Amino acid sequence: MKNDTVSSSKDETVFTLLTPLSNLLICHNQQCITQLEFIFKHISDRFPQTSFEKNIAEQIQHYLKDPLHNFSIPLAPTGTPFQISVWQALQKIKPGIPKTYGQLAQELKSCAQAIGQACRRNPIPLIIPCHRIIAKTHQGGYAGATDGTLFQIKKWLLAHEHRPQ
């Protein structure tokens, strides 16, 4: 989750979605999201146009209003088999019930540091909810950041999901 660039192949399309958190740059291959990044500077004036893109935008906006929204957007993140297993496990964590790096590591028979590295390399944050992984004694980092804008986004997402329903 870099904060200023998205690389895409010829077969992929990139569009921008404006949200209260930041602008989101979303890369997809017409069937699946392949990458999503929080961006803080102008990169693209291309906004959702196709029905697939409008569905992505609607689902993200719905989540931002209702943290219990279950995303049903097809995803195609690129990573190692271990990273993919972590990202799949992240998608099973319920909103408002975060887990620690250690808890997830125990479930996946790994170590907390490896979980943290997989979270840091998550190419589709927000939808693959790496923000739901916290340190044992504090909220932990977000994309390697322990302060600043990205960390504030993690804090906002955790508070958003922890609202009484």
Tell me the longest C-alpha to C-alpha distance in the chain: 44
Helix or strand (DSSP H, E) at 152: helix 148-161
Question: Exactly one of 27, 111, 119, 130 is catalytic; which is it?
Answer: 130
Q: For residue 100, what is the enclosing H or E element?
A: strand 99-100
Is 130 assigned a catalytic role? Answer: yes
* Cβ neighbours, 10 Å, residue 93: 18
Site of tokens 């322990």: 146
How far apart CA 165 and CA 163 sit, in angstroms, is 6
Tokens encoding 104: 């997830």
Residue positions annotated with a catalytic role = 130
